[in-house]
Structure 1
């Protein structure tokens, strides 16, 4: 019989923090650890199966996917070794952002997309917010030093940026699931602030570790240093050491398995500095060259994204397009993207969406047949707003743009057909529409929470129905004209349905539903449901029995 041991139980109250080993099984304290081991084994087995498919050529490698979509400008390290590493081993990758502003902007999205792709393929993803390095400011590519930020502004930016990144990750997980990448328990991500470790770093330790690796000749030969010294306002010692601080970030993360750093095209020099530091500080056991190579650090830079006209992507009239909706509204973000040039839109679809390349190619073929419809641009705009702000926001924003262009019924139907996971198109059975009052139809269409809520909307003038105008009434034949549902009777709706089986309902400014009315039999055959449908069937069956 085993002797008593002691386990700390997280589920017990503070006054009873321990439980003896004989009670462990009864309280189920081992179960969570057993489940964790089983889950870990399942994840490892699944990873090995996917790796075998990749090695057999039945599945594209992650690096191949990134290359085909245009994410890779330069690699720091051997390409084949990185390809093998990403296939064989679940590793960590990171990209960093300094809180020089309270929000991410569109330019940040490109390196983050690489991180998102790595995450949904099972690698650990780390977003670093440079709470410490922001005090210095990255001089890369700058001739004029960044204006010093006061402590309160920096702290405020740090909190806002953290919330922005956290919200982005939540939205990305939902977006990935809609594109066939359901969240896996083995996926791992974190948001970290480098002031946690850099703030504790002793200056002597820093100089003895990082300072001895950095060679003055190489550092003085960097373009950033030469250009800022010769053409700019000079370079401070703090700016000069920025690459070493970034390198130390990576060294800290590398010790927990983060082998890949992702950055913009201008970050290649800083990434190489990190690789040099890691190789200098890593113990060198007598292992095979291949093992040593696969355990080392790698860097990946994304291309500098410019438009076909040479302008920097993510800027509108010189201003950044922010990913915080309080700084750049979803409507403005959608509008910026829908104005993308024909020469740019295919590349943007590959870079800023999870859409399969085959789908993008098909959309581009349709777009090239009639570029005036800007079908590819609208798809890009919807997908990016979906990625950043969520599906509902994307649908509402698309509706705003649609109705700002005074559409007709045909254009609405076409957009509904072309929109993936369209929320504003639905079917209703004839029995829930024919002869029913507008308030009840609003409820059945999901535009009102109940019949009484629908009645309130109608009486307050907040609900509308669209009808096509005649050629005499509008410059564009068939243009939709909305009228208030207040005063509209069931007979008026029945009369409208004699002309078309499609109703266009709206509540508020932009919440639109395109309702196609079909027979009850077809509705049931499609396996569909709607608010109030089950209650209607029960009443119908009861009356017939």
Structure 2
């Protein structure tokens, strides 16, 4: 008698029909292959039709669009050849960012905008994060070497920056669709880490490939090298080879069809170094036939992001506007852009939005008719916050900003209750506010870095206190009137607290804080803290001598 186990396995399970899995797999692969060929053929047909419309003058070429919007500072390579290449073929383009900080900033957005425009016109877009090159630090335009970062910091920055770049691409796709550029299946984008290929690069191969094409005279003659040697802290060998590593990045990407590099105007020398390396290595017998057929590398640099007055801004300048909302809030980003000078706003609208040029011209005409309304600046701020953080964030930020211009206490409290980020409202214990000078309260509220900083803000007229209007006009609705803290006495602040336990402080134009003053024991029960609170408790609880 067969065993129970054998009986169950052979008799209770019905037999499955036999299928030749290899044959099924081959059929599926053939179907997918035919589908891919059909999609590619259809894409090429549409591309040829578009190119024909451009050549016939019925549509602007991509390079013309970039030039009209002010993206092109310099071109490395023949302008007409690049124009023809972008019109006739789907190619690849890239820009690189080293993870020297955990976030992109507004200056990074400029070369990325060129990538966005190329992407929505069908070209392959690649963002390269320099996980390897960050360990050296780009010396371009610097007199003092970058502070060396440890590997943990670089790794942490890389993870944060990679997340920021990917989120930026997702937002850019949605933003483009809202402006009439729906995503096509043939569009291609990627985010790469140059550590992947540079860590495999052997020093002998690097010197053989890149070192032989780099001429000492040309490298020593670069402005960055000369200025850093003569006026700065000298140049290390690692910094000296940075352009060659960036060149090798491009050579690696070029072999997969990335023919254009995009960078800031200070990157022109590094881009040319990459072009020289590509031209040197392409004729080698080991280079693939597909790479040899490419029509040559091209470089495009964007203008340095400055105000009309010539002021730079960015991480190196110490006034970076970050694209990570934990470092620069959407409200702060909106406020910065609303503060753009009239001489800058049209240029920024062309650079940082997908708005058509005729719409920008129309808005500028309305703005010039009444500049005090700052209509162009508000459009710029709304569009950029939409691009960076999405339409919901843009709408909420615009409403919040509009409210902050004419707040009243009731709506300010309601908005603070509904704020997800809790940025507008804070609690302070009675002892840190009662009988304290306004400058000291600014410090405890986190609006000043120290008591002396708060005093400077008060004396310079940069800090204000909100006083509810007692006017009976129908339109006033208890509107808060802000008066400078300079001249406001300690007793006046104490009287305000006695009436409602509420203070409204403002620094700058838009940074409004609602402060609710509560009992010390209640503050401690909530587990809250504020600048100076721990020091106060130590003094309060210290045994008397």
TM-score of the two chains, using structure 1 as the length reference: 0.70
Match of 1:165 in 2: 165
2:282–2:292 contact (8 Å) kept in structure 1: no
Match of 1:155 in 2: 155
Cα drift, residue 316 of structure 1: 12
Match of 1:436 in 2: none
Match of 1:199 in 2: 199
SS at match of 2:261: strand
Distance in 1 separating the partners of 2:390 and 2:402: 18
Match of 2:472 in 1: 473
SS at match of 1:93: strand
- 1:385 paired with 2:382, answer no
Match of 1:35 in 2: 35
Structure 2 counterparts to residues 100-499 of structure 1, below 5 A: 100-283=100-283, 295-314=295-314, 318-406=318-406, 472-474=471-473, 478-479=475-476
Instruction: Please point out which of 21, 40, 50 is paired with 1:19.
Output: 21
Cα drift, residue 21 of structure 1: 1.9
**Cα gap change, 1:400 to 1:17, in 2 (>3 Å):** farther
Cα drift, residue 473 of structure 1: 2.6
**Cα gap change, 1:17 to 1:295, in 2 (>3 Å):** farther
1:406–1:479 contact (8 Å) kept in structure 2: no
Cα drift, residue 472 of structure 1: 4.8
Question: CA deviation digits over 1:133-185, x for unaligned, max 9?
Answer: 00000000000000110111110000000000000000000000000000000
Cα drift, residue 24 of structure 1: 4.8
Cα drift, residue 204 of structure 1: 0.2
Distance in 1 separating the partners of 2:45 and 2:334: 42
Match of 2:86 in 1: 86
SS at match of 1:75: strand
SS at match of 2:300: strand
Cα drift, residue 478 of structure 1: 2.7
Distance in 2 separating the partners of 1:382 and 1:36: 40
SS at match of 1:266: helix
Point out where structure 1 has 5 or more consecutive residues left out of the alignment.
Answer: 1-15, 286-290, 409-469, 483-508, 510-545
Cα drift, residue 313 of structure 1: 3.8
2:313–2:320 contact (8 Å) kept in structure 1: no
SS at match of 1:300: strand
1:260–1:298 contact (8 Å) kept in structure 2: yes
Cα drift, residue 55 of structure 1: 0.5
**Cα gap change, 1:22 to 1:300, in 2 (>3 Å):** closer
Cα drift, residue 41 of structure 1: 1.5
SS at match of 2:128: strand
Distance in 1 separating the partners of 2:301 and 2:119: 17
Cα drift, residue 39 of structure 1: 1.5
Distance in 1 separating the partners of 2:126 and 2:170: 14
Match of 1:431 in 2: none
**Cα gap change, 1:478 to 1:250, in 2 (>3 Å):** same
Point out where structure 2 has 5 or more consecutive residues left out of the alignment.
Answer: 1-17, 286-290, 409-468, 480-512, 514-545
Distance in 1 separating the partners of 2:360 and 2:370: 16
SS at match of 1:191: strand
2:338–2:377 contact (8 Å) kept in structure 1: yes
**Cα gap change, 1:261 to 1:18, in 2 (>3 Å):** farther
Distance in 1 separating the partners of 2:20 and 2:247: 43
SS at match of 2:355: coil
Question: CA deviation digits over 1:451-490, x for unaligned, max 9?
Answer: xxxxxxxxxxxxxxxxxxx99534xx635679xxxxxxxx
Distance in 1 separating the partners of 2:24 and 2:211: 55
**Cα gap change, 1:407 to 1:22, in 2 (>3 Å):** closer
Distance in 1 separating the partners of 2:477 and 2:362: 30
Distance in 2 separating the partners of 1:294 and 1:29: 30
SS at match of 2:332: helix
Match of 1:458 in 2: none
1:69–1:350 contact (8 Å) kept in structure 2: yes
**Cα gap change, 1:222 to 1:479, in 2 (>3 Å):** same
Cα drift, residue 309 of structure 1: 1.8
Q: Which moved more, 1:150-159 or 1:307-316?
A: 307-316
TM-score of the two chains, using structure 2 as the length reference: 0.70
Match of 1:66 in 2: 66
Question: CA deviation digits over 1:9-45, x for unaligned, max 9?
Answer: xxxxxxx9982226754xx453333222222121111
Distance in 1 separating the partners of 2:125 and 2:406: 44
Distance in 1 separating the partners of 2:99 and 2:37: 38
1:316–1:336 contact (8 Å) kept in structure 2: no
2:313–2:319 contact (8 Å) kept in structure 1: no
Alignment length (residue pairs):
399
**Cα gap change, 1:269 to 1:24, in 2 (>3 Å):** closer
1:107–1:313 contact (8 Å) kept in structure 2: yes
The alignment's C-alpha RMSD in Å is 2.5
Match of 2:493 in 1: none
Q: Following superposition, which runs of at least 4 residues in structure 1 exceed 6 angstroms of deviation?
A: 291-294
Distance in 1 separating the partners of 2:237 and 2:361: 50
Distance in 2 separating the partners of 1:48 and 1:218: 41
1:85–1:294 contact (8 Å) kept in structure 2: no
Distance in 2 separating the partners of 1:298 and 1:259: 6
Cα drift, residue 349 of structure 1: 0.1
Distance in 2 separating the partners of 1:243 and 1:222: 11
